[in-house]
């Protein structure tokens, strides 16, 4: 389904899995979303140089 919004929890999970070294294919299988969607968010993370914030309140 084109342009279907995904939950922010899934976006955070994509980021966490990717930074842990999990492949795009494995991430898409685990989360039930397309590889293209996973690639889109990973490209976004890289473009804006997003990093994991370890300190939580």
Tokens of 9: 């929890």
Give Cβ neighbours of residue 41 (< 8 Å, ≥ 6 apart): 11, 14, 15
Q: What is the pTM of this model?
A: 0.80
**pLDDT of the residue at 7:** 92
Residue 38 maps to a domain: yes
**pLDDT of the residue at 56:** 47
Residue 16 maps to a domain: yes
User: For 4-50, what is each residue's pLDDT tens digit?
Assistant: 889 999 999 999 999 999 999 999 999 999 999 999 999 999 898 87
Domain count, the chain: 1
Domain containing residue 36: 8-47
């Amino acid at each position: 389904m084109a342009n279907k919004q995904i939950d922010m929890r899934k976006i955070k999970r994509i980021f966490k899995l990717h930074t842990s070294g999990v492949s795009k294919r494995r991430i898409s299988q685990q989360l039930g979303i397309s590889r293209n969607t996973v690639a889109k968010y990973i490209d976004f993370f890289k473009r804006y140089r997003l990093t994991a914030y370890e300190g939580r309140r």
